[in-house]
Amino acid sequence: MSIEFKIPEAIEKQLQPVRSVAENVMRPESRQLDDNEHARPVKFVHMMWPQMQQMELANLEAALTRAQKSSNGDESQKNGPDNKPRSDRASIANLSLVYMIEMLSWGDAGVYLCIPSSALGGAAINAVGTPEQLERFLRRFTEGEPKWGAMAMTEPQAGSDTSNIQTTATFDPQTNEWILNGQKIFCTSGKLALEESKGLVVVWATVDKQAGRAGMKPFVVEAGTPGALIGKVEEKLGIRASDTAQIILDNCRIPAENLLGNAEVKTGPSSQGFKGAMRTFDATRPIVAASAIGIGRAAFEYTRDLLAKQGIRMDYDKPRWKLTTVQADLLEMEAQLHAAWLLTLKATALLDAKQENQLESSMCKVKAGKAVTWVTQKAVELLGPLGYSTELLAEKWLRDAKINDIYEGTGQINTLIVARTILGYSRTELK
Amino acid identity for residue 384 in this structure:
G
Nearest to 292 by CA among 101, 139, 82, 128: 101
Q: Provide the terminal-to-terminal Cα distance of the chain, rounded to the nearest Å.
A: 40
Distance set, CA 24 to CA 47, 294, 324 (Å): 12, 16, 35
- The answer to whether 128 and 279 have CB atoms below 8 angstroms apart is yes
The neighbour count for residue 88, using CB atoms within 10 Å, is 10
State the CB neighbour count (10 A cutoff) for residue 214.
22
Residue positions annotated with a catalytic role: 408
Beta strands in 84-239 (DSSP E): 149-152, 168-172, 177-188, 200-206, 216-222, 228-233
Burial (Cβ within 10 Å: 0-12, 13-18, ≥19) of residue 245:
buried
Q: How far apart are CA 90 and CA 77, in angstroms?
A: 11
